[in-house]
């Protein structure tokens, strides 16, 4: 009888251990599956961001070139038209300057993949803290760069555009199919004008802010792109 009792308890103990082992194995398999799903999701997020980042990097580099060209044009016009001897400056030169120093156009970067990561909680499934920090910094750089563009655009809309409407001969550019309106640019408002000179100098300052933001953005994008490419 004693032997039978011990055997029964032993069988119950073995059965309990088997059940416990089965539960642990099930939890392990489930956890492994969840980890695998997270790894796949993280890889998907990173691949989308890497593709978007490559496109934005190309766009940022092009915009940096455009900003440098805009700064070069404004500096050239300051020397050769605005601060030149008025007797040597023609109306055509002034009109070319007005065309060359036209509106500031805002250009947005792609953000779909980045916003998907940030808004869906995707940061938690990415593979490293360094990448997570890099993405948050990238988002901040994009926000700052967008603000600098908006400030430059607002300056054009609020100050330069009204000045052009008041003193520029816009019919030269937009009304070529109409009779001669004889509405030529007021050369004195541009050549030797302190006010117009100050407008261009302020625009250079704002373009300089845009340029510095783009340089910082490009540098960080290249760093983040390198991190995402690592296995």
Min mean pLDDT across 58-62, 74-78, 164-168 is at: 164-168
Residues with Cβ within 8 Å of 109's Cβ and at least 6 positions away in sequence, in order, are 56, 59, 60, 142, 145, 146
- Of 18-22, 58-62, 119-123, the range with the highest mean pLDDT is 58-62
- Number of domain units in the chain: 1
Residues with Cβ within 8 Å of 156's Cβ and at least 6 positions away in sequence, in order, are 103, 104, 203
CA angle 148, 190, 172 (to 5 degrees): 95
**In the predicted model, is pLDDT for residue 38 greater than 80?**
no
**In the predicted model, is pLDDT for residue 72 greater than 50?**
yes
Query: Comparing C-alpha atoms, which of 40, 50, 221 is closest to residue 125?
Result: 40
Share of the chain above pLDDT 90, in %: 57
The residue whose two tokens read 């117009």 is: 196
Q: What is the pLDDT of residue 178?
A: 52
Mean pLDDT value across the chain: 84
Per-residue pLDDT, averaged over 97-119, amounts to: 91
Per-residue pLDDT, averaged over 132-159, amounts to: 95
Domain hosting residue 174, numbered range: 2-229
pLDDT tier, 121 (very low <50, low <70, confident <90, very high otherwise)? confident
Can you give the length of the chain in residues? 231
Q: How far is CA 216 from the centre of its chain?
A: 11
Please tell me which residue, 9 or 207, carries the higher pLDDT value: 207
C-alpha to C-alpha distance for 138 and 148, rounded to whole angstroms: 15
Query: Comparing C-alpha atoms, which of 152, 157, 129, 155 is closest to residue 210?
Result: 152
- Helices 112-119 and 129-155 pack at an angle, to 10 degrees, of 120
**In the predicted model, is pLDDT for residue 2 greater than 60?**
no
**In the predicted model, is pLDDT for residue 34 greater than 50?**
no
- Say how many C-beta atoms besides its own lie within 10 A of residue 42's C-beta: 19
Per-residue pLDDT, averaged over 155-161, amounts to: 95
Q: How many CA atoms lie within 13 A of 83 on its CB side?
A: 11
C-alpha to C-alpha distance for 159 and 140, rounded to whole angstroms: 29
Residues with Cβ within 8 Å of 171's Cβ and at least 6 positions away in sequence, in order, are 178, 181, 183
What tens digit of pLDDT does each residue of 167-226 get?
A: 987 655 555 555 555 567 889 999 999 999 999 999 999 999 999 999 999 999 999 999
Please tell me which residue, 17 or 218, carries the higher pLDDT value: 218
Radius of gyration of the chain (CA): 32
Give how far Cα 135 sits from Cα of 43, 105, 120, 127, 195, Å. 14, 27, 14, 12, 43
């Amino acid at each position: 009888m004693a032997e039978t009792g011990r055997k029964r308890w032993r069988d119950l103990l073995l059965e309990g251990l088997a059940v416990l082992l089965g539960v642990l194995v099930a939890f392990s398999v489930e956890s492994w599956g969840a980890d695998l799903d997270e790894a796949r999701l993280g890889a998907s997020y990173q691949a989308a961001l890497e593709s978007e980042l490559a496109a934005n990097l190309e766009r940022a580099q092009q915009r940096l070139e455009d900003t440098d060209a805009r700064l070069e044009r404004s500096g050239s016009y300051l020397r050769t038209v605005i601060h030149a001897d008025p007797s040597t400056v023609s109306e055509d030169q002034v009109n070319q300057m007005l065309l060359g120093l036209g509106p500031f156009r805002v250009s947005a970067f792609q953000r779909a993949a980045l916003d998907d990561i940030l808004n869906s909680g995707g940061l938690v499934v990415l593979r490293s803290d360094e990448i997570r920090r890099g993405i948050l910094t990238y988002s901040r750089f994009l926000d700052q760069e967008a603000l600098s563009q908006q400030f430059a655009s607002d300056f054009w809309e609020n100050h330069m555009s009204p000045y052009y409407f008041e003193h520029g001969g816009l019919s030269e550019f937009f009304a070529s199919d109409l009779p001669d309106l004889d509405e030529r640019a007021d050369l004195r408002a541009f050549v030797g004008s302190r006010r117009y000179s100050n407008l261009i100098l302020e625009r250079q300052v704002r373009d300089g802010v845009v340029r510095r933001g783009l340089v910082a953005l490009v540098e960080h994008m290249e760093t983040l792109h390198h991190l995402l490419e690592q296995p």
